[in-house]
Amino acid sequence: MKKIILLIISLFIVNILFSQILYDEGIVKGKNVTYEVKRGKGHLKSFTFIRNVNNPDTTFREVPNHNIIPPQMVDINMQVAEIIHDGLSPKELAQIYRSALIGMTFRVDAKKKELLQVTNFFYLCDEPFWANFSPDRLHDLEQLILRKLKLPSKLQEIYVEADFFVFVYGSEIQNIEETRETRRKAIEAWKQKDFKVEVRPWPKFVIKEKQDEE
């Protein structure tokens, strides 16, 4: 009977821990980082956005919409998935859901042609893994990405001049061999062929929601 009671108490505690959301809107501090947390608006209202207040460039830039996803971007996405995989503990890797999506906005140093900053992270508000991932651990991943990410040598200028999104799923973080193979094929593709990327208008529902917010 005592064992059953202890089990019920343990499950209750675990449920409480996973129901807590670390990133309420406002300022969230860790030991080594301070993040500003905002909820998305319009078509992004399902997302939570997390920005390092000490980013070197705090200028707001709207992320353009592109006509294609070139292999250079697949290369970058898969690199980020592998960097996160290597940065997570075995326990964290076991906890992450295959469908768990983490997004990032990247900004490039145009002169050095290297990643300047992770402008922000964002995830679906009801996604438990990233919602409960501590600020200091997120900062660890942020620093790993800044140190390890290598921009493709043939990265289109459009990604150097403007911010761009990166999206990584839990399945890509967990299934690292498949992720590496996807990246290998992407590198082969951008080395063999030039891919022209153009800015195109955002879908009408996005434009309408932006106008409604103004």
Which amino acid, 82?
E
Q: How high does pLDDT run on average in the chain?
A: 88
Q: Which tens digit of pLDDT belongs to each residue from 17-41?
A: 444 567 889 999 999 999 999 999 8
Residue in the block written with tokens 């980013």? 55
Q: Residue 200 pLDDT > 80, yes or no? A: yes
Measure the CA–CA gap between 168 and 171, rounded to whole angstroms.
8
Whole-number pLDDT of residue 206? 54
Q: pTM value?
A: 0.85
DSSP 8-state assignment for residue 184: H
Give the residue from 200, 192, 209 showing the smallest Cα distance to 40: 209
Q: Residue 119 pLDDT > 90, yes or no? A: yes
Report phi then psi at 48, rounded to 5.
-105, 130
Measure the CA–CA gap between 185 and 44, rounded to whole angstroms.
31
Measure the CA–CA gap between 201 and 212, rounded to whole angstroms.
17
